[in-house]
Structure 1
Amino acid sequence: MLETLRKIVQEVNSAPDLESVLDVIVRRVQRAIRTDVCSIYLLDQARERYVLMATQGLNRKSVGQVSLSLDEGIVGMVGQRAEPINLENAAAHSAFTYLKGTGERKFHAFLGVPIIHHRVLLGVLVVQQKLIRKFDEAEEAFMVTISAQLAGVIAHAEATGSINRISEQDKTESDRKFEGVSGCIGVAIGPAVVMTPLADLDGVPDRRVDDVKAEVSKFKSALSQVRRDIKKVGRSLAKRLRSEERELFDVYIRMLDDNALGGEVIARIKEGSWAQGALKQVIGEHVKQFSLMDDPYLRERATDIKDLGRRMLTCLQESGPALSEIEFPENTILVADELTPAMLGEVPTEKLIGLLSVNGSGNSHAAILARSMGIPTVMGVVDLPYTRIEGLNIILDGYSGRVFVNPSEDLSQCYQDILREENEVNAGLEGLKDLPAETTDGYRMPLWVNTGLITDVARSLERGAEGIGLYRTEIPFMIRDFFPSEQDQTDTYRKQLEAFAPRPVTMRTLDIGGDKPLPYFPIVEDNPFLGWRGIRVTLDHPEIFIVQIRAMLRAAEGLDNLRIMLPMVTNVQEVDESKRLIEQAVEELREEGYTINQPLIGVMIEVPAAVYQVRRFARRVDFISVGSNDLTQYLLAVDRNNPRVAGLYVSYHPAVLKALQFIALEAHKENVSVSICGEMASDPGGAILLMAMGYDVLSMNATNLPKVKFALRGISFEQARELLSQIIVMDNVDKIHMKLRQTLQELGLGQLTRPTIPD
């Protein structure tokens, strides 16, 4: 059964459209179970009916014609119960409804299983047989397994089908909605520009070309280059290979002939596709054919085809214009399978208005940077067929995490109104720059910023930031091809420190691993968030740590506004060792003639183990800072980059609020200041709660600083304490959100809550 399942999933994955997907499923399942009938009923949400969309065994003319209401028939019962129903004689069941024209009256045995994707019922998969008998446990288990495996493929195929119709300018398919999670609030309306990962055939977007001749020439040039490369490799290995092994390189060359792969790609280009898209289509079809073969040797040839495809794609990408040379359209919404920090710098800032990522979550590193830059972002839109939306107009709703492809005029106008309201609110906040974040009863709350790029500095100062609570030093490391030298780091850090002097600048030591790998220092682990990251890496590599500390200290010479923060600490030994190395760097630089003052040293509380050692850390350091993003992730056991569980990542979870309150109380028992630099501080409601808990500093992205300041200036400290006392005893996240929203509205701060979004 496992081999059968593998083949079905493989064939379904390579099917070009929804109709083909469903046809493959019913044919393959009917054959695998050796039953008389296999059918798929898909739920039409608009009509609230199950529609027969594919069958093997019933009357084919009834496909698309017959349907059932949500509570009608045994199919409706499967959907309502969301569980399998296995009957030996379906016609004798009280819920049985005969669908006229299908010819199903002669079938008795019935097994139906729901098709569910991300808690959403898509339809029902049914097998039937003439015999009066129950399907056995193995058959039922197979059906449940196949349904679970294929639910995502069916959802994706449905989405792809609707996108294809839009691409073909069929304007009847509008307002196609996809659900993700918010990465950065705000709304963006504009054309989608898909960024293709290097040498990733699956990520190549569909694109049409006008100059077919130039595209064919480009492909032939890439083809010649690949031929030369293969011949070169073959010659270099000739002496080490047997004659039959050397023949493999000749096979590769023949595959590229005009009457083989090369000719097929050129034919697709002549039909109007760009070279990369044509290559992807041809390679995909051949890989599918070989993968489905029973002979193991022939099946392995699929790997050879993929390798050739990647080689040709690499040549095509290298011969094309550099990203810096591409003319991006106005109001670009950048789309990628997985957004990376480096991608954000590829599009001119004045043209980039939105970011959309198929994978990742609202708390991935790319999303954090997007918030720093104030770019509306939606992450984790896993069902979006992103390679099919190049050039299409989309609405990106960073408040609800929704994306609309080919929006109607009415929907576009609705979101244009929201954009106008946003601009009006932001314009009204500009006058707050030089005013303190002071409550109505005189409580002063320092507001700092989180930075990573040099462009963050000007934006932060423009919005009235009083210091930097988190400078992500790993970002200069991530945009290079090798470790930056001590002098390079010194120059980079000096710009941050000088721009904010005499205001404090908190520099976090290199925090790589988890969702922040370096391309030249890869860390491959099964569970990276529980692995080698943060302070664990740098203490294992003191040569990296000391160079970075020396650069920080040199950069702060004469300014003395440096604070050094240690990430991911879990025990006091890590703190003691780090302090020893910092003192070593201070002494070395003094011996070299630099005038170095001992900087303030702090730790980040990011893991549960650190929560219960706050007082021990506080006795060793000058300040405590909470990284609430990671702390929330570890407390809730939710990978913040996994869109499948993104809905479980909630900053206002009762356990998170209790932990944050406990940390502030514990730090103050040792008379040590405590700040927070997670995204919770960027939310007006969260900022009010954190102030009431006793946090001494709130650090956030510069974009949200004016809104947080406006919220704090509109409430008294006593009102904030009262609100906290009510919320801290609540056990329901939705009620906590509702209470915060209601309180902001009662205080006349309703414009800081999420705008009303159409369903």
Structure 2
Amino acid sequence: MLDILRQIVQEVHSAEGLDQALQIIVRRVRDAVGTEACSVYMREADSDRFVFRATEGLNSEQVGLARLEPGEGLVGLVAAREEPINLEHAESHPNYRYLKDVGEENYHAFLGVPIIHQREVLGVLVVQQTDRRRYDESDEAFLITMSAQLAGVIAHAQATGAVDGESQGGEEAAPAKIIGIPGAPGVAIGTAVVVSPGADLFAVPRKQVTDRRAELEAFREALAAVQNDIRAVSDNLRGEMNTEDHALFDVYLGILDDSTIGKEVAALIKDGQWAQGALSQVMIKHIRHFERMEHSYLRERAVDVKDLGTRVLAYLQADAASREQSYPDKAILVGEELSASSLGEIPREKLAGLISVRGSGNSHVAILARAMGIPTVMGAVDLPYTRLQDRELIVDGYHGSVHLNPQPELRRRFQAMLDQDLAQSKDLELLRDKPCETLDGYRLPLWVNTGLMIDVSRSLEQGAEGVGLYRTEVPFLLRDRFPSEEEQRQIYREQLLAFAPRPVTMRTLDIGGDKALPYFPIEEDNPFLGWRGIRVTLDHPEIFGAQLRAMLKANAGLGNLRIMLPMISSVPELDEALALIYRCHAELVEEGLEGELPPIGVMVEVPSAVYQARAMAQRVDFLSVGSNDLTQYLLAVDRNNSRVADLYHSFHPAVLQALSAVVAAGRLEGKSVGICGELAGDPRGAVLLLAMGYNVLSMNATSLPKVKQALRSISYSDACVVLDEVMQMEDANQIVLQVERLLGSRGQEQFVHVPLA
């Protein structure tokens, strides 16, 4: 059965669209189970009705026409219960509903299983038999396994159908919502510009062109270039290979011949497809054809076809790169894995939003997007991004979703939210020079998180009073080697000078987890619980020492440096790091460096540090909570995994209890306690942190004026009352609602962003 499962999944992966994918499923499942009929009913997103979408054995003329209301019939019951239903006499069940003209009146045995993706029922897979018999456990287990395996594929195909204009009944394409991870807050409505990586056949966007002759000429030139390359290699190896092996080069030339693959690509170009897209479609079709072959030798030829197609694509991309790229207004960059360099290629005034199929909220591009105030969605794994070129999209960076084919009403509501954000942004500019002070005079400093020089001017424009987190790993990530001590000194000096006399908190090198250096790879099965943060630098004192020395030198004559240690999980670990800092400072003093040892702090971001916060506070000058990692570790939820992203909740009662405990520990030792996670930049979270007694909130520059506005609209006593209320609650969503009620009652409804769809 495992081989059959793999074959079906592979075939479905190769399908061109949802209808073809569903037809493959019903045909192959019917044969695998040995039954008489197999059908798929798909749920309509806008009505929740179940549509008869594919069948093998019933009346195919009713596909797209027959429908069941929510909860209606056995199909509706399977969906409502979200579990299989296996019946020997289906017609005797009280939920049985006869669908006219579908042709199931002679079928008695029924087995239906739900198709569920990301907790949402997409449809129901049904097998039926004329005999009165109950499907056995192996059949049921097979269908459950099949639906679980195919749910993601179907979701992707469904989104692809929405992009391509396919619908469930021939009418206008249905709206689709793709769930990802919030990367940077805000709303963007604009035109997709697909960014494809170098020479990747599977990442080429589809695009129509008007100058077909130019595209055809570019393709033929690229084809000829690759053929010449192959002939040159063939000539060089003629004397080193036997005749049989050398004949393989003739096979390669034959594959690229104008009468075979070349002819197919040319035909698509003549139909209006651009050369790169035409090549991609044809080569992928042939690659998948070879991959499905049973003979291992023929399956391996797929690698050869892919290599040849990649070579032609590389020439086409080189030719396209020589021509100037134009971007539409309100461009939304879309790619499999966006990089910082792709942001730099587009004029800032034209960039409206970002969508990355891969990546996390902590990836470099997401950090940069937050600094630049660009609404961003990361980890949109179901998005058929190669088909989105020139399509209008809605990016909801608040909730991490992308909307395709939105209904007019939904688009109007997002436009209203966007207009509100723009108006609010202008109003917030007036707060720049005003203090963050509550109505009853409670003062709370707001600092910023930085990592790039682009952050500096934006942070100062927003009225930042200091830097609560400077990510020193960013300069390391932007290089192909470790920066020297002098290079680091210059970088740190620039940051310290820019903010002087305001304090700048520099976190020592924090790599590992989802932040790997290309020249210092860390391969681990579970990187978030592995070799990262202080664990790496303590194991490499030569790296740690050079960074500490660079920081201390950069601080000479300024005195606004604060050093912060990441990922501390025990007191002995902290003592070891402190000893190295003291030693580096003593050595520099001996070399003539003037200046006191700067304040040293600990990041509280693992559960063990929460329980040892007081012991750590006795050894350092300040504590700073990294609420992103602390929430992740407390809840055992990878915040970068879109499958469980909805379980990652900063307002979880356990998280709030931990945050309160850290403040209490710091207060007992008379030490300042700050926080530099995303919760600090959420106006709702800031209300609770204010009441808990945090001394500093640090956030991305874009969030700073919003938090200031929210806190200036309430009193400290208001915040304390709502904190007392929520600390008795057991549900994160209820906690959020309670804080939102407070903000709403103080005229701050603009900070409450409810998902629109």
Partner secondary structure for residue 475 of structure 1: helix
- Is the aligned partner of 1:662 residue 2:635? no
Kindly report which structure 2 residues correspond to 1:82-231, keeping only aligned pairs within 5 A, or say none: 82-165=82-165, 172-173=172-173, 176-227=176-227, 230=230
Give per-residue Cα distances to partners, 1:612-637, cap 9 Å, x unaligned: 22122222222211110011111111
- AA of the residue aligned to 1:306: K
Could you tell me how far 1:456 is from its partner in structure 2? Answer: 0.9
**Separation in structure 1 between the aligned mates of residue 437 and residue 102 of structure 2, nearest angstrom:** 72
- Counterpart residue number, 2:444: 445
Pair 177,235 (structure 1): closer, same or farther in 2 beyond 3 Å = same
8 Å contact kept, 1:355–1:376: yes
**Separation in structure 1 between the aligned mates of residue 44 and residue 186 of structure 2, nearest angstrom:** 31
**Separation in structure 1 between the aligned mates of residue 599 and residue 218 of structure 2, nearest angstrom:** 58
Kindly report which structure 2 residues correspond to 1:354-433, keeping only aligned pairs within 5 A, or say none: 354-362=353-361, 364-407=363-406, 410-433=409-432
- AA of the residue aligned to 1:141: A
8 Å contact kept, 1:175–1:411: no
- AA of the residue aligned to 1:117: H
**Separation in structure 2 between the aligned mates of residue 731 and residue 217 of structure 1, nearest angstrom:** 66
State, as a whole percentage, how many aligned pairs show the same letter.
Answer: 57
**Separation in structure 2 between the aligned mates of residue 316 and residue 550 of structure 1, nearest angstrom:** 48
**Separation in structure 2 between the aligned mates of residue 485 and residue 248 of structure 1, nearest angstrom:** 49
8 Å contact kept, 2:162–2:175: no
Partner secondary structure for residue 39 of structure 1: strand
- Counterpart residue number, 1:688: 687
- Is the aligned partner of 1:19 residue 2:31? no
Could you tell me how far 1:353 is from its partner in structure 2? Answer: 1.8
- AA of the residue aligned to 1:269: I
Could you tell me how far 1:249 is from its partner in structure 2? Answer: 4.3
8 Å contact kept, 1:190–1:394: yes
**Separation in structure 1 between the aligned mates of residue 301 and residue 358 of structure 2, nearest angstrom:** 30
8 Å contact kept, 1:472–1:508: yes
- Counterpart residue number, 2:526: 527
**Separation in structure 2 between the aligned mates of residue 49 and residue 177 of structure 1, nearest angstrom:** 17
Could you tell me how far 1:29 is from its partner in structure 2? Answer: 0.8
Could you tell me how far 1:691 is from its partner in structure 2? Answer: 1.8
Could you tell me how far 1:467 is from its partner in structure 2? Answer: 0.5
Kindly report which structure 2 residues correspond to 1:457-606, keeping only aligned pairs within 5 A, or say none: 457-606=456-605
Give per-residue Cα distances to partners, 1:562-590, cap 9 Å, x unaligned: 11111112223333333333334334444
Pair 100,753 (structure 1): closer, same or farther in 2 beyond 3 Å = closer
Could you tell me how far 1:701 is from its partner in structure 2? Answer: 0.9
Q: Which moved more, 1:525-534 or 1:101-110?
A: 101-110
- Counterpart residue number, 1:334: 333
Pair 50,718 (structure 1): closer, same or farther in 2 beyond 3 Å = closer
Could you tell me how far 1:44 is from its partner in structure 2? Answer: 2.8
Could you tell me how far 1:391 is from its partner in structure 2? Answer: 0.9
Q: Which moved more, 1:473-482 or 1:158-167?
A: 158-167
Give per-residue Cα distances to partners, 1:529-577, cap 9 Å, x unaligned: 1122212222233332223223222222211111111111222333333
**Separation in structure 1 between the aligned mates of residue 226 and residue 516 of structure 2, nearest angstrom:** 31
Partner secondary structure for residue 333 of structure 2: strand
Q: Which moved more, 1:714-723 or 1:680-689?
A: 714-723
Partner secondary structure for residue 383 of structure 2: coil
**Separation in structure 2 between the aligned mates of residue 249 and residue 589 of structure 1, nearest angstrom:** 64
- AA of the residue aligned to 2:603: M
Give per-residue Cα distances to partners, 1:109-149, cap 9 Å, x unaligned: 22111112222122211111222222111111111111111
Pair 596,218 (structure 1): closer, same or farther in 2 beyond 3 Å = farther
- Counterpart residue number, 2:7: 7
8 Å contact kept, 1:363–1:629: no
Pair 428,277 (structure 1): closer, same or farther in 2 beyond 3 Å = same
- Counterpart residue number, 1:617: 616
- AA of the residue aligned to 2:476: F
8 Å contact kept, 2:625–2:675: yes
- Counterpart residue number, 2:299: 299
Pair 618,393 (structure 1): closer, same or farther in 2 beyond 3 Å = same
- AA of the residue aligned to 2:666: A
- AA of the residue aligned to 1:35: T
Q: Which moved more, 1:195-204 or 1:602-611?
A: 195-204
Partner secondary structure for residue 105 of structure 2: helix
Could you tell me how far 1:26 is from its partner in structure 2? Answer: 0.9
- Counterpart residue number, 2:37: 37
Partner secondary structure for residue 644 of structure 1: coil
Could you tell me how far 1:60 is from its partner in structure 2? Answer: 2.2
Give per-residue Cα distances to partners, 1:20-66, cap 9 Å, x unaligned: 11111111111111211111122234454322211111222222232
Q: Which moved more, 1:408-417 or 1:294-303?
A: 408-417
Q: TM-score, normalised by structure 2?
A: 0.94
Could you tell me how far 1:5 is from its partner in structure 2? Answer: 0.7
8 Å contact kept, 1:180–1:402: yes
**Separation in structure 2 between the aligned mates of residue 32 and residue 579 of structure 1, nearest angstrom:** 64
- Counterpart residue number, 1:743: 742
Partner secondary structure for residue 643 of structure 1: coil
**Separation in structure 2 between the aligned mates of residue 424 and residue 281 of structure 1, nearest angstrom:** 44
Pair 411,166 (structure 1): closer, same or farther in 2 beyond 3 Å = farther
Pair 309,607 (structure 1): closer, same or farther in 2 beyond 3 Å = farther
8 Å contact kept, 2:666–2:673: yes
- AA of the residue aligned to 2:38: C
8 Å contact kept, 2:440–2:716: yes
- Counterpart residue number, 1:264: 264
**Separation in structure 2 between the aligned mates of residue 601 and residue 239 of structure 1, nearest angstrom:** 68
Partner secondary structure for residue 105 of structure 1: coil
Partner secondary structure for residue 692 of structure 1: helix
**Separation in structure 2 between the aligned mates of residue 619 and residue 66 of structure 1, nearest angstrom:** 71
**Separation in structure 2 between the aligned mates of residue 230 and residue 11 of structure 1, nearest angstrom:** 32
**Separation in structure 2 between the aligned mates of residue 567 and residue 282 of structure 1, nearest angstrom:** 50
Pair 171,45 (structure 1): closer, same or farther in 2 beyond 3 Å = closer
Partner secondary structure for residue 531 of structure 2: coil
Could you tell me how far 1:207 is from its partner in structure 2? Answer: 1.2
8 Å contact kept, 1:175–1:404: yes
Could you tell me how far 1:435 is from its partner in structure 2? Answer: 1.9
Pair 201,442 (structure 1): closer, same or farther in 2 beyond 3 Å = same
Give per-residue Cα distances to partners, 1:624-673, cap 9 Å, x unaligned: 11110011111111111111111001000000000111111112222221
- AA of the residue aligned to 1:314: A
Partner secondary structure for residue 196 of structure 2: coil
Could you tell me how far 1:685 is from its partner in structure 2? Answer: 1.8
Q: TM-score, normalised by structure 1?
A: 0.93
Pair 469,47 (structure 1): closer, same or farther in 2 beyond 3 Å = closer
8 Å contact kept, 1:586–1:596: no
8 Å contact kept, 1:209–1:272: yes
The count of aligned residue pairs is 755
Kindly report the root-mean-square deviation, in angstroms, between the aligned alpha carbons of the 2 structures. Answer: 2.6
Partner secondary structure for residue 116 of structure 2: strand
**Separation in structure 2 between the aligned mates of residue 230 and residue 506 of structure 1, nearest angstrom:** 56
- Counterpart residue number, 2:65: 65
- Is the aligned partner of 1:679 residue 2:656? no
Q: Which moved more, 1:188-197 or 1:413-422?
A: 413-422
- Counterpart residue number, 1:712: 711
